[in-house]
Structure 1
Amino acid sequence: MPKEKYFFDSGTTKGTYNGSILAYLKSKPVYFDTLTRVIEIAGMNDVLDKQNVTFFAPTSSSIYKSVKGLNAYLRQNGRDTVAKLEQIKPEAWKELLSQYIFKGSNKLKDYPQIDTLNMAAFPGQGYTSMSGRTMNIGVRFNDAVVMEDGVEKSRVKYAGYRQLYIAYIPNYADPKAGLINIPVASSDIAPTNGIVHVLTQEANYLGAWKSKHNFGFSTNLFINTVQSYGILPVTP
Structure 2
Amino acid sequence: MKKLIFACAALLLLLNACKRDEYYRDGGLANPNFNGNMLQYLQAKKVPFDTIAQIVKLAGMESTFSNEDFTFFAPDDEVIKKTIGTIRTDGLNNFLFYAGKDTVKTLDQISPLIWRRYLQRYMFKGVNRLKDYQQIDFDVKSVYPGGLYYSFGGNISNIGVTYATANNIKYIGYRQLNLTYIPDPSKPNDNWYINKVASSDIKPTNGVVHTLAYNDTRGGAYFGFNESDFFSDVYFGGLASSNSSK
TM-score normalised to the size of structure 2? 0.80
Provide Cα deviations, 1:99-135, integer angstroms capped at 9, x if missing partner. Answer: 1111221000000111112211112111111111121
Deviation above 4 Å: which 4+ runs of structure 1? none
> Hey, what does 2:42 align to over in structure 1?
25
Tell me what 1:106 maps to: 128
The answer as to whether partners of 1:66 and 1:218 remain within 8 angstroms in 2 is no
- Cα offset, 1:17, TM superposition: 0.6
Deviations along 1:183-235, whole A, 9 cap, x unmatched?
00000001111100000037xxxxxxxx9532111322321233343322445
Larger RCO (CA under 8 A, 6+ residues apart)? 1
Identity of aligned residues (%): 41
1:208 maps to what in 2? none
User: Contact between 1:200 and 1:213, CA under 8 Å: does it hold in 2?
Assistant: no
Once structures 1 and 2 are overlaid, which stretch shifts more, 182-191 or 222-231?
A: 222-231
Structure with the higher strand share, 1 or 2: 1
Which residue does the alignment assign to 1:6? Answer: none
Match status 1:130 vs 2:131: no
Report the CA distance between 1:25 and its aligned residue.
Answer: 0.7
Question: Using the alignment, how far apart are the partners of 2:206 and 2:49 within structure 1?
Answer: 18
Q: Quote the Cα distance in structure 2 between the aligned partners of 1:45 and 1:88.
A: 17
Structure with bigger helix share is: 2
Aligned to 2:233: 225
Asked if structure 2 preserves the Cα contact closer than 8 Å seen for 1:91 and 1:229, the reply is no
> Out of 170, 183, 189, which is 2:196 matched to?
183
Query: RMSD between aligned alpha carbons?
Result: 1.9
Matched AA of 2:28? T
Could you tell me how far apart the structure 2 residues matched to 1:228 and 1:182 are? Answer: 28
- Higher radius of gyration, 1 or 2: 2
> Structure 2 stretches of 5 or more lacking a match?
1-25, 86-90
Quote the Cα distance in structure 1 between the aligned partners of 2:222 and 2:62.
Answer: 22
Cα displacement string for residues 11-36 of structure 1 (whole angstroms, at most 9, x for unaligned residues) = 42641111101111111012111111
Paired with 1:162 and 1:30, the residues of 2 have a C-alpha distance of: 25
Residue 84 (str. 1) matches residue 106 (str. 2): yes
Q: Partner of 2:200: helix, strand, or coil?
A: strand
What is aligned with 2:8?
none
